Amino acid sequence: MTQKKYKLCRRLGTPIFEKCQTAKFAQSEPVKKGKKMGGRRSDYGNQLIEKQKVRFMYGVREKQFGNYVEHAMETAKKGTTPATLLFRQLEERLDNVIYRLGFASTRALARQMASHGHFTVNGKKMTIPSYAVKLGDVVAIREGSKSNGLFAEAAVKLKAVKKPEWLTWDDKALTAKVSGDPKTPDAFLNFQAVIEFYSR
């Protein structure tokens, strides 16, 4: 699995997986030189690459990703672009929130933690990783999961994690409140190119 992720990161030219952001990846066997990938890539090819970067990074299946894009294109209002809405939809997934807060070292682990019901939203146990959090929602560790080894020394570990500005973190309660909209995509992701890919 690790080698497969390394291969994808090299092919897409971006460290979309956490495993590709390590020194081990940097020191691993580079792509073999020799035959060049046929010349300049077309606009379609570039857009396809951008789509794959976003989809793989957030760990969303092809059909579900297409649904996110379709919804973003249909609901974009004046002053808000489909690209911005697509970014917000992916960031507001419960598994991504768990990852961004530092509870999980990878989005894959965050999805597993969410599906196992380790978290609550507004006090209610949630087992749907794709659940979309909304303004005012409070995400917390489920009371029955606090003794789980996954959360050992959580208070200390989470203090060192830089949280997104749209999530208001409570150090004492270990809870996060959705207090705004996600605003800044990772610099290596091009959401506009994704919209253009689906608009062809």
**Residue ranges of the domains in the chain?**
2-20+41-89+191-198, 93-178
CB 43 within 8 A of CB 186: no
Angle among Cα 100, 57, 106 to the nearest 5 degrees reads 45
Average pLDDT of the chain is 89
- What's the pLDDT tens digit per position in 112-156? 999 999 999 999 999 999 999 999 999 999 999 999 999 998 989
Distance CA 129, CA 139 (A): 12
Q: Which residue has the tokens 């659940």?
A: 131
Return the minimum-mean-pLDDT range out of 61-65, 90-94, 117-121, 156-160: 156-160
**Hey, what amino acid is at 110?**
A
Contact residues for 178 (Cβ-Cβ < 8 A; gap 6+): 92, 97, 133, 134, 135, 136, 137, 138, 139, 166, 167, 168
**Which CATH entry fits the domain spanning 93-178: 1.20.1250.20, 3.30.1280.10, 3.90.226.10, 3.10.290.10?**
3.10.290.10
- What's the pLDDT tens digit per position in 76-88? 888 889 999 999 9
CB 169 within 8 A of CB 179: no
pLDDT of residue 200: 87
Say whether pTM exceeds 0.85: no
pLDDT of residue 123: 98
> Among candidates 164, 171, 156, 13, which has minimal Cα distance to 96?
164
